């Protein structure tokens, strides 16, 4: 009774491997028709798209003799292969690749649904966003990207439910970076007075694997701004690009010209302590006012004001009491007295893969 | 291309009217084939099930001359009418009626999906729960009851996503009563030291419409226990009934024999101040230990320990800082470091109707 469903899984890094592991344990899992990484692709033989690819790690899958081994496939080639499958197909994009994201419209127009945590397709130029959703309509396909924002927190689905049922979002504020949540939470806890220098906290977090390999990718606020862009677009604001609104970088201006290399990272980490006084002054200012310092994104719908940066919050607010969690606080016409709050651990490969899987299960339910 | 969908809407009280109002504003809304309240029913004429019933208030709908007016229909009659519609049908149950809930299996077996905020079907005997979900499978129909717990907070869908993707829930704790959240938040705020007597707070909340008409329906914890029962069952625990675990009532034992009448309510409110000292002692005990008193439900999965009642929490925990909101805190294998937290305003007719509508839209998407 169920239509056969074929997956094209692109990207087998941390998220991709966790996804494949979860897929392997799923009852009635859909078949994998295509598995691709940056240098190589595996395909189930046409025209039957059978035998399919086992849901396991890359090297085990690659050892299956009946599969076709190909070099790198272009997004268009992947889309053509999946669209020709003898059933409905779904692209699972585990990369953060803009080029693949730019091809989503090709997949969707040809009836291939898209499930992804890749923010690029939804936070780049607004024309790509519009093209993606118009193509999904045209191809009668689905695009689910819940975990582009807030890990597995149901942020986007909750916003879509609120809007679909006629509520009006008035204001959203949130902490959309687990790393910045952790750093600010340690730099200025809501209660207690630890006094650790900013640069030491950054160094510690980096050593513990709590930052990106290059911590500047967290500190510049751009990833955070991409997530806020996606939220803003989901609630109907036409944000042209993720740099179309003010984003406060925590990288000292004197250090922005350092190279994006391991030598550049090392120089950055060496020189950061020289700017600790600046962060102390900002913290002292908050303390004098009886407030707590946090790195926050906010959207005020009426004035269309969007910004990302350091802000003062009340000591006993949920945002002040975060310790590494992400949080999104949604104020609406119906939720006017107290906001709707979603809060949780955020990212990590296993958790992101779980969000992808939840999206995948929803698309499968619609396609079957 | 879309299959026609027929709704049977039962119950036109606060939630029902808010639901009909939202339905009237919905683009491409499904047709209403049947609208029923406790004393009367309206039906679109068979066999065409057309013209349908306008999504408006009862008296306007009843004034439509082409509709069939009937007296009270039994659940079986409603199910038979909806199952014979020339398309897929959905029962929207806006009541809190156990008899209607006991008939969900009849609806579902006959292919009629169910969308409801009525807790009775999911929190009564476990045999009804099992029958409901087995019947849904059998009839290829859907049963969505997200807003039986936590208003529009996506509690149940988040739990189902976590489980479907292979995560393991270890512990859940929450405040599932907006009224008790408000009362305890005022009785013992996390910060500041207002000192208002418990009975005054109850009286105030009742006057402000923040309690059920009979405040004992909040204070006895039974509604809370029903919600916790539903959560426990969704995560796979076989809870035979909502009184199968300890539920602490905030009604003084001396007052439990008062009648369930308006005279009984009045007597209860008059006599409650005599027991304020007991609540003061409980509060003082928490204060001495540096903790905050809250009315909490908790599920420990490993030991299968479920309980509802007063507990001590840390001052700067999210639960201590609630002011009338509901909250659910979910600890899992993957969310081991910090729990996933959902927090929000909770109930009210308009918000519950919105939750129903969100569920309805999901069922429609699956049926079309």
Q: Which domains does chain B have, with CATH numbers?
A: 5-151+350-367 (3.40.50.720), 155-345 (3.30.360.10)
pLDDT at A175: 96
Q: Which residues pair with A68 in a beta bridge?
A: A43
What residue of A is the nearest CA neighbor of B345? A338
Does residue A2 surpass a pLDDT of 70? no
Does residue A180 surpass a pLDDT of 50? yes
To probe the interface with B, which of A138, A164, A165 has the most B CB atoms within 10 Å?
A165
The DSSP call for residue B275 is: G
Does residue A334 surpass a pLDDT of 70? yes
Mean pLDDT, to the nearest integer, of A83-95? 97
pLDDT digits (tens, 9 = 90+) for A190-200: 987 778 999 99
Mean pLDDT, to the nearest integer, of A306-312? 97
A76-81 contacts at long range (C-beta below 8 A, 24 or more positions apart): A76/A103, A76/A106, A78/A8, A78/A10, A78/A34, A78/A36, A78/A41, A78/A103, A78/A107, A79/A103, A79/A106, A79/A107, A79/A110, A79/A112, A80/A110, A81/A8, A81/A33, A81/A34, A81/A43, A81/A46
Provide, rounded to the nearest whole percent, the portion of chain A with pLDDT above 70.
99
Instruction: Say which of A109, A120, A227, A283 is annotated catalytic.
Output: A227
**Does B290 appear as a known binding residue?**
no
The least confident of A298-302, A355-359, B100-104 is A355-359
Tokens representing B173 are 């704790």
Mean pLDDT, to the nearest integer, of A238-255? 96
pLDDT at B1: 42
pLDDT at A232: 98
pLDDT digits (tens, 9 = 90+) for A247-288: 999 999 999 999 999 999 999 999 999 999 999 999 999 999
Determine, for residues A165 and B361 on separate chains, whether the beta-carbon distance falls below 8 Å.
yes
Does residue B263 surpass a pLDDT of 80? yes
Q: Which residues of chain B make contact with A328, given a CB cutoff of 8 A?
A: none
Mean pLDDT, to the nearest integer, of A311-315? 94
Does residue B188 surpass a pLDDT of 60? yes
pLDDT at A102: 98
Does residue A3 surpass a pLDDT of 90? no
**Which has more confidence, A61 or B90?**
B90
Does residue B71 surpass a pLDDT of 80? yes
Q: Which residues of chain B make contact with A345, given a CB cutoff of 8 A?
A: 334-335, 337-340
Q: B329, A315 in Cβ contact below 8 A?
A: no
To probe the interface with A, which of B113, B138, B157, B161 has the most A CB atoms within 10 Å?
B161
Does residue B346 surpass a pLDDT of 80? no
**How much of chain A is in helix, strand and coil states, percent to nearest 5?**
40, 20, 40
Mean pLDDT, to the nearest integer, of B53-76? 89
Highest mean pLDDT among A46-50, A64-68, A299-303, B189-193: A299-303
Residue positions of A in the annotated binding site? 11-16, 95, 119, 212
User: Mean pLDDT of all residues in chain B?
Assistant: 93
Q: How confident is the model at residue A1 (pLDDT cuts 50, 70, 90)?
A: very low
The least confident of A138-142, A346-350, B132-136, B166-170 is A346-350
To probe the interface with B, which of A15, A139, A161, A315 has the most B CB atoms within 10 Å?
A161
The least confident of A249-253, A294-298, B56-60 is B56-60
Does residue A28 surpass a pLDDT of 90? no
pLDDT at B2: 65
Residues of B tagged active-site: 227
pLDDT digits (tens, 9 = 90+) for B292-308: 999 999 999 999 999 99
Rounded-to-integer distance, Cα A144 and Cα B320, Å: 35
Determine, for residues B165 and A357 on separate chains, whether the beta-carbon distance falls below 8 Å.
yes
Q: Which residues of chain B make contact with A366, given a CB cutoff of 8 A?
A: 365-366
**Does B174 appear as a known binding residue?**
no
Determine, for residues B167 and A354 on separate chains, whether the beta-carbon distance falls below 8 Å.
yes
Question: Closest to A154 (Cβ–Cβ): which among B157, B343, B353?
Answer: B157
Phi, psi of B125 (to 5 degrees): -60, 145
pLDDT at A348: 73
What residue of A is the nearest CA neighbor of B315? A316
Q: Which residues of chain B make contact with A190, given a CB cutoff of 8 A?
A: 316
């Amino acid at each position: 009774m169920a239509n056969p469903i074929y997956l094209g899984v692109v990207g087998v890094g941390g998220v991709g491997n966790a996804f494949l592991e979860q897929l392997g344990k799923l009852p009635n899992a859909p078949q994998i028709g295509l598995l691709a990484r940056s240098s190589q692709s595996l395909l189930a033989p046409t025209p039957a798209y059978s035998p399919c690819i086992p849901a396991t790690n890359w090297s085990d899958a690659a050892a299956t003799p009946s599969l076709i081994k190909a070099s790198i496939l272009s997004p268009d080639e992947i889309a053509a292969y999946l669209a020709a499958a003898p059933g409905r197909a779904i692209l699972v994009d585990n990369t953060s690749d803009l080029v693949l994201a730019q091809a989503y419209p090709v997949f969707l127009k040809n009836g291939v649904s898209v499930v992804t945590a890749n923010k690029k397709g939804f936070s780049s130029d607004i024309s790509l966003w519009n093209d993606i959703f118009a193509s999904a309509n045209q191809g009668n396909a689905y695009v689910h990207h819940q975990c582009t924002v807030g890990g597995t927190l149901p942020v986007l689905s909750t916003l879509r439910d609120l809007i679909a049922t006629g509520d009006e979002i008035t204001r959203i504020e949130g902490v959309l970076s687990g790393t910045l949540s952790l750093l600010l939470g340690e730099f200025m806890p809501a209660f207690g007075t630890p006094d650790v220098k900013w640069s030491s906290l950054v160094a510690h977090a980096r050593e513990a694997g709590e930052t990106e390999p290059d911590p500047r990718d967290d500190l510049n606020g751009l990833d955070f701004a991409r997530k806020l862009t996606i939220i803003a677009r989901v609630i109907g604001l036409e944000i042209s690009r993720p740099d179309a609104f003010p984003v406060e970088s925590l990288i000292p201006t004197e250090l922005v010209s350092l190279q994006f290399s391991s030598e550049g990272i090392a120089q950055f980490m060496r020189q950061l302590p020289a700017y600790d006084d600046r962060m102390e002054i900002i913290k002292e200012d908050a303390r004098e006012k009886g407030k707590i310092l946090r790195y926050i994104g906010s959207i005020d719908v009426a004035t269309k004001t969007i910004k990302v940066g350091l802000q003062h919050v009340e000591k006993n607010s949920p945002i002040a009491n975060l310790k590494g969690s992400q949080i999104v606080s949604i104020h609406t016409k119906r939720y006017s007295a107290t906001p709707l709050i979603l809060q949780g651990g955020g990212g990590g490969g296993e958790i992101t893969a779980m969000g992808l899987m939840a999206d995948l299960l929803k698309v499968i339910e619609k396609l079957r």
